């Protein structure tokens, strides 16, 4: 978290904390036909109410928010979180400890719904859901990411380190290499992923620490296009004190994303364009 983000984070945390839970639990009469689905870990459980509050307080509320937690957390949840439960926000439990549970269970229970995934350590802008949904109306068959990377190879077709997965000039973009990143929000239209997406044994074997890569692979197998949102909302605000435990430290800094993507590519024999752009 950058130093300049601290005052902004404190301000919005206080603002959201002052909103009455009773008011946030009310069902909006102009909600959007989407489900927001996310997960969390014990080290963030006393902070995640801020993320949930920011989603409940959207200008256009989703019809449902589902937080998937590991079943060992039953009976340990803070009142700051449980008091937000109601007709919109639901807490569910899973035997899985991996981050893939943010999406796979919701896909199983609501296969015909639009699902937006997000992270548990951000405060989202009031138009966050609406902007993603508006983009969906332009490209109803595509996966939309507010934040994306671009899978890149060197001149010999060898996968580059994850930190080098940056965009070329816009006119050179090969759409299949666009990788949605979960942090800022990703919208999945119904039936956009391979049926193998919920194969727990397989994703724990191939990409146990990289749900974004697993979902990207499943979209390629299904022939679904991924897109960078053309008009993303204001960037999400990090919540102070949530980065003690983070997959980013292992996946990015130790380049585990490259390793797991190579494993997925080899296993499924993915034929991505391996030009340098």
Residue spans of the domains in the chain: they are 5-268
Average the pLDDT over 126-149 and give the result: 98
Which of the two residues, 243 and 84, has the higher pLDDT score? 84
Choose the weakest-confidence range: 115-119, 217-221, 270-274: 270-274
Neighbours of 71 (CB within 10 A): 11
**CATH of region 5-268:** 3.90.550.10
Share of the chain above pLDDT 90, in %: 88
274 phi, psi to nearest 5 deg: -110, 25
Q: What is the mean pLDDT of the chain?
A: 94
Q: pLDDT confidence of 145, banded at 50, 70, 90?
A: very high
Residue 245 has pLDDT above 70, yes or no: no
Neighbours of 195 (CB within 10 A): 11
pLDDT in tens, 178-208: 999 999 999 999 999 999 999 999 999 999 9
Q: pLDDT confidence of 247, banded at 50, 70, 90?
A: low
Beta-bridge partners for 104: none
Whole-angstrom Cα Rg for the chain: 18
Residue 224 has pLDDT above 60, yes or no: yes
Residue 243 has pLDDT above 90, yes or no: no
Residue 250 has pLDDT above 60, yes or no: no
pLDDT in tens, 34-60: 999 999 999 999 999 999 999 999 999
Place of tokens 């995934």: 117
Q: pLDDT confidence of 252, banded at 50, 70, 90?
A: low
For residue 41, how far is the Cα from the chain centroid? 15
Position 59 scores a pLDDT of 97
Question: Could you say which DSSP state residue 225 is in?
Answer: -
Position 72 scores a pLDDT of 98
- The Cα–Cα gap between 62 and 133 comes to 10
């Amino acid at each position: 978290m950058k130093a300049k983000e601290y005052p902004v984070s404190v301000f919005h945390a206080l603002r959201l904390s002052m909103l009455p839970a009773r008011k946030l639990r009310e069902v909006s009469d102009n909600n959007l036909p989407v489900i927001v689905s996310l997960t969390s870990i014990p080290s963030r459980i006393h902070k995640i109410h801020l993320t949930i509050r920011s989603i409940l307080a959207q200008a256009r509320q989703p019809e449902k928010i589902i937080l998937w937690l590991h079943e060992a957390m039953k009976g340990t949840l803070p009142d700051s979180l449980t008091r937000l439960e109601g007709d919109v926000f639901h807490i569910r439990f899973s035997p899985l400890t991996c981050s893939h549970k943010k999406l796979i269970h919701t896909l199983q229970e609501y296969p015909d719904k639009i699902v937006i995934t997000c992270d548990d350590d951000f405060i989202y802008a009031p138009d966050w859901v609406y902007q993603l949904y508006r983009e969906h109306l332009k490209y109803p068959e595509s996966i939309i990411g507010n934040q994306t990377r671009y899978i890149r190879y060197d001149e010999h077709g060898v996968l580059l380190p994850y930190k080098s997965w940056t965009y070329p000039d816009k006119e050179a973009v090969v759409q299949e290499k666009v990788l949605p990143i979960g942090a800022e929000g990703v919208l999945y239209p119904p039936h956009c992923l391979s049926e193998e997406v919920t194969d727990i044994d397989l994703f724990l074997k191939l990409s146990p620490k990289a749900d974004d890569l697993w979902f990207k692979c499943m979209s390629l197998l299904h022939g679904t296009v991924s897109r960078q949102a053309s008009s993303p909302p204001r960037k999400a605000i990090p919540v102070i004190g949530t980065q003690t435990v983070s997959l980013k430290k292992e996946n990015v800094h130790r380049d585990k994303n490259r390793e797991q993507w190579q494993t997925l590519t080899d296993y499924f024999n993915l034929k991505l364009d391996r030009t340098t752009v």
